[in-house]
Structure 1
Amino acid sequence: MIRIAVVDDQPLLASAFAAYLERQPDMTVVGTAGDGAQALDLCRRTDVDVAVMDLRMPVLDGVEATRALTARGERPRVLVLTTFDVDEFVVAAARAGARGYLLKDAEPVELLRAVRAVHDGRAVLGGTEPSELLRAHLGSARTAAARPRSDVLARLSEREVEVLAEIATGASNAEIAERLRIAATTVKTHVGNLLAKLDCRDRVALVVLAHAVSR
């Protein structure tokens, strides 16, 4: 069973999400919270696999709650909910360790897919796993590197942009090395530089950030 916490400052929404998730044979909702501080308390008291987390909340917002939860270890993994597709809150949540994001007006079945994907350690971008979505957005590494640079990409070298584009497609270090015709050790160095320069805690955050700056 996937143990889920639902965190939203709108009680009706939290109840609706919780009721829908609870009906699934592989899921159980272990609690709900109305703000980030309550979420932290809930996750201290209860074993939670996935926290479905609103971003804009009083007391403690979803970004800071995500940062505090992910600092504790591998669980719970965080799926953030947002009214807007990609904004600074989504990017900040990715940097804080969220495994992906989902629009609040998404189809209910997308919520189920997203929770299962996040539970399994995969990234979720607006309900879609990143490989084919980011290939469509970023195209080849060369195309991505040739695009006008956002403030985020401006921090990176051309090679780092190429590596980021490949990471965004879900490629492993070995696959990136083969595609870009560079050594695997060089790829590892570039990945480390990307994590540091973009203030991302893991590859999932890099994927979500790459998606955000490609839009």
Structure 2
Amino acid sequence: MPTVLIADDQILVRAGLGALLRMAPGLEVVGEACDGEDAVRQAAAARPDVVLMDIRMPGTDGIQATERILALPVARPSRVIALTTFDLDEYVYGALRAGASGFLLKETPPERLISAIHTVAAGDMLFAPSVTRRLVEAYAPATQPEPLGEPRGWSTVTNREREVLQQVARGHSNQQVAATLCLSEATVKTHLNRAMVKLALSSRAQVVVFCYENGLVVPGRADRPAGS
């Protein structure tokens, strides 16, 4: 049964989410945090499967809290769903960059919220990479310069793994990547997982952000060759 921690600075929102999820079969609410600092503290103690994280909070905001929760020294880190009012929001971009597994609008219907929690708890992304790409392109300038230095771990990533990373960053599913590169889906997953481990990336959303921020994919321009 997936366990859930709710983090929101508005008491009515916390109470509403808590009441909803406690009535939902197959979910267990293990805490309600009033801010980011409280969320980190409770996540470290309760180790929930999923954290519903409001990203605009005073003090330690949801982005900082997400980074700290995902960095906790535990065998199975919690997965974070960012809660936001607007889907194209620089705060959401920051949350995905920090490693959140996706985001939901606060107006999301209850059944969609419950389904999303189960999806993320099972280890899947909350939405297609194409949605992440749309968000990233809204905040990654088209004239973004080449990175100043090589990212840590990049030299250990093979050319084929780099090609897979680029395809994922372009918003392609594993099936589409397999068809484009003439590989099996299982092989695509293997290459992607190995590259993510080498680059210390925890989600496909982070893959998209990484590729844009390091010049592998740039809005309006062709991909940089994988071997460069």
Q: Which runs of 4+ in 1 moved over 4 A?
A: 152-156, 159-162, 207-210
Distance 1:109 1:155 in 2: 42
Alpha-carbon contact 1:50-1:75 (below 8 Å) kept = no
Percent identity between the two aligned chains: 31
CA–CA distance in structure 2, aligned partners of residues 170 and 151 of structure 1: 24
1:22-171 to structure 2, matched below 5 A, reads 22-72=22-72, 73=74, 74-124=76-126, 129-130=127-128, 134=130, 150-151=140-141, 154=144, 163-165=167-169, 168-171=171-174
Structure 1: 5+ residue runs without aligned partners?
Answer: 139-146
Distance 2:21 2:94 in 1: 26
**What's the offset of the Cα at 1:188?**
4.7
Please say if residues 8 and 54 of structure 2, whose CA atoms lie closer than 8 Å, have aligned partners that are also in contact: yes
2: distance between equivalents of 1:165 and 1:207?
4
Preserved CA contact (<8 Å) 1:49 1:76: yes
Q: Residue 161 and residue 123 in structure 1: after superposition, are their counterparts in 2 closer, same or farther (change >3 A)?
A: closer
* Paired letter, 1:122: D
TM-score under structure 2 normalisation? 0.67
1:92, CA displacement in angstroms?
A: 1.0
Please say if residues 39 and 65 of structure 2, whose CA atoms lie closer than 8 Å, have aligned partners that are also in contact. yes
Cα gap change, 1:206 to 1:162, in 2 (>3 Å): closer
Q: Which has the higher helix share?
A: 1
> Does the 8 A contact of 1:77 with 1:118 survive in 2?
yes
Letter of the 1:98 partner, please give it. A
User: 1:24-59 CA deviation, whole Å, 9 max, x = no partner?
Assistant: 110011110110100111112213111000000112
Q: Structure 2 regions of 5+ residues with no counterpart?
A: 147-162, 212-217, 220-228
| 1:40-89 CA distance string (max 9 Å, x none) | 11112213111000000112100000000111253211011001112211
Contact in 1 for aligned 2:44/2:69 (Cα 8 Å): no
Q: TM-score, normalised by structure 1?
A: 0.70
Number of paired residues?
A: 186
RMSD: 3.7
Helix, strand or coil: the match of 1:69? helix
Q: 1:29 to 1:160 in 2, by over 3 A?
A: closer
Using a 3 Å threshold, how does the CA distance of structure 1 residues 165 and 18 change in structure 2: closer, same or farther? same
**Alpha-carbon distance in structure 2 between the residues aligned to 1:152 and 1:123:** 26
